[in-house]
Amino acid sequence: MENVSIARYCNADPNAPDPASLSVIDADALARSEPHDIHASTGDGWIAIMEPNFTGHRWRYVEWIAQACVEAGHRCVVVTDTEYASHPLVQRIAREARPDLRCVLLDLHTVPFGPHFAASEYMRFRHLYARALRQLNHRMHVRLVVAPYADYFFYTLGGFDSPFGKTPWIAIVMGMTFHHASIGLRTPRRPVVDLAKSILFRRAMRARGLRALFTIDPTLPGWFASTRPARTAPLNYVADPFPEIEGIDPRVARERLNLDGHTRYLLVYGAIGERKGIRELMLALAHRRDVPCLVIAGQQDDETRAFIDAHAPRLTPAPVTFNEFVSEERERDLFSACDAVWLGYKQHYGMSGVLVQAYRFRKPVVASADGLIGWFCRDGALGPLLDDLEPATIARALDALAERWADGQSAARPGGDHLLSRNTLDQFKKTLQAAMT
């Protein structure tokens, strides 16, 4: 999972009302079927899933956690920023108008003036989460908060109280890398920063109300246990999930996507930005003709779209692009149709949901040797590794991939006990449900 911050922060107008007093924009603004009053919550109250950013893989986590809540018999409210009013998940929740699932949109990007907000993104997020819960509690009784991406504010807990006050909460962290260098993973060496973050992390594990913390990094619980923590919340591994969707006949998938039946395709998938390594990949392919055709699928940021548009004419064969939100049906077609998946990410050291998807569809990957991606792919069974993103390195990896295809090894063949085999949606839900009771 990439570390993506919200870039659209703005300071509050000093003449405007306090953002904490701004009215909630609920799903009534999205669909007439959504009632204004959601005070119907009684008894054990509601579980609030708070995620201010629906880009990349984050909205999927919100969807899956909401499903886990509802399937376990809990009432659930999804809280996100007003920017995502038109997002398909928000629209679907509004359209279905279930009595046990609601969506509330809040201003989760405007922060008040103050040097601590200007200096620290962590403090800005902390303020936004605390303000969101205060607003939500005016409308319903929240008995538990779930933070699918607690990396936003978790380090602040080392010196401050929980942003959720007395309300119990559980959370997932996805991008904690401060321990990687000490256990031998390929990551930048930052002795002072890593030491400071490790101290803050250990203190945060004693935060008020923290019922359990989960991580998609299988190396973090072992590191934490080695520090001999005392009187902390439990820290457990939860495998980055992917629904167990069966692939379809590649010929059918290619026909749906208008792809050639005889060409080899390399899929670049997800939120398409600079950290995908797409620039380095396209530059490496620019002077070669014996390479797979790129399929670039996912929403592109403006700068990356301009780069792709400028460099695509230099590639033979020309890339196929789907610059759009990718539905589950289109996602299945893409992974079924393509022959391999690009994971040569740039300065990305955490987990990747795309790696899980590639594993599920038995597609070989061309992967960075850095961070957790490199750790999962270290034995080469999933595909060739990239020590760097130099053109010659990428060319060698693609040559190795071509050799696999020439030898008839079209599918990745990891061992049946590979850790990625645990990355099922059912297991993810059960793990979260156990902490919700």
Structural domain containing residue 218: 10-238
Residue of higher predicted confidence among 152 and 409: 152
**pLDDT exceeds 80 at position 21:** no
Residue 72 sits in the same domain as residue 112: yes
- Give pLDDT, residue 27: 44
Query: Are 72 and 178 in a shared domain?
Result: yes
Is residue 43 over pLDDT 60? no
Cα Rg of the chain (Å, integer): 22
- Domain boundary residue among 218, 238, 258? 238
3-state secondary structure of 169: strand
Q: In what order do the strands lie in the sheet with 75-81?
A: 25-26, 101-106, 75-81, 46-50, 142-147, 169-173, 210-215, 235-237
> What is the pairing mode between strands 210-215 and 235-237?
parallel
> pLDDT digit string (tens) for 326-359?
988 999 999 999 999 999 999 999 889 899 999 9
Q: Give bridge partners of residue 172 from the DSSP assignment.
A: 214
The pLDDT assigned to 398 comes to 95
Whether residues 198 and 155 share a domain: the answer is yes
> Last residue of some domain: 179, 212, 238?
238
Question: Does 2 map to a domain?
Answer: no
pLDDT at 305 > cutoff 80: yes
* Mean pLDDT within 292-297: 97
The answer to whether position 4 is within a domain reads: no
Q: Any idea what the CATH number is for the domain that residue 370 is in? A: 3.40.50.2000
3-state secondary structure of 10: strand
The pLDDT assigned to 30 comes to 41
State residue 413's pLDDT score.
Answer: 64
* Token pair 């005070």: residue: 39
pLDDT in tens, 112-129: 777 767 668 898 999 999
Q: Label residue 241 by pLDDT band (50, 70, 90).
A: confident
Average pLDDT, the chain: 88
Banded model confidence at residue 37, pLDDT cuts 50, 70, 90: very low
Q: Give the residue ranges of DSSP H helices in 300-352.
A: 302-311, 328-337
Of 246 and 201, the structure prediction assigns the larger pLDDT to: 201
Q: According to the model, what pLDDT value does residue 301 have?
A: 94
**Predicted pLDDT at 325:** 87
* pLDDT, average across residues 173-183: 93
pLDDT bucket at 56, cuts 50 / 70 / 90: confident
Judging by DSSP bridges, how do beta strands 210-215 and 169-173 pair with one another? Answer: parallel
Task: Give 10's pLDDT tier (boundaries 50, 70, 90).
Answer: low
Q: Is residue 151 domain-shared with residue 285, that is, in the same domain?
A: no
Q: Are residues 221 and 275 in the same domain?
A: no
Co-location of 163 and 288 in the same domain: no
Is 433 domain-assigned? no
The pLDDT of residue 165 is above 70: yes
**CB-based contact 315:287 (threshold 8 Å):** no
Residues 222 and 255 both lie in one domain: no
Over pLDDT 70: what percentage of the chain?
A: 88
**100 plus 63 within the same structural domain:** yes
- Which residue in this structure is represented by tokens 């033979």? 316
What DSSP state is assigned to residue 326?
Answer: P
pLDDT, tens digit, 9 for 90 and up, residues 387-427: 999 999 999 999 999 998 888 777 776 666 688 888 889 99
Q: Are residues 115 and 221 in the same domain?
A: yes
Q: Are 244 and 200 in contact (CB under 8 A)?
A: no
Written as six digits, the tokens of 330 are 């289109």
State yes or no: pLDDT of 1 exceeds 60: no
pLDDT at 361 over 90: yes
The residues near 413 (Cβ < 8 Å, ≥ 6 apart) are 362, 381
Domain total in the chain: 2
Q: Which tens digits make up the pLDDT trace of 66-104? A: 999 999 999 999 999 999 999 999 999 999 999 999 999
Q: What is the pLDDT of residue 437?
A: 83
What CATH number should be reported for the domain holding residue 164? 3.40.50
Do 213 and 255 fall within a single domain? no
**pTM, rounded to two decimals:** 0.81
Residue 215's H or E segment, with its range, is strand 210-215
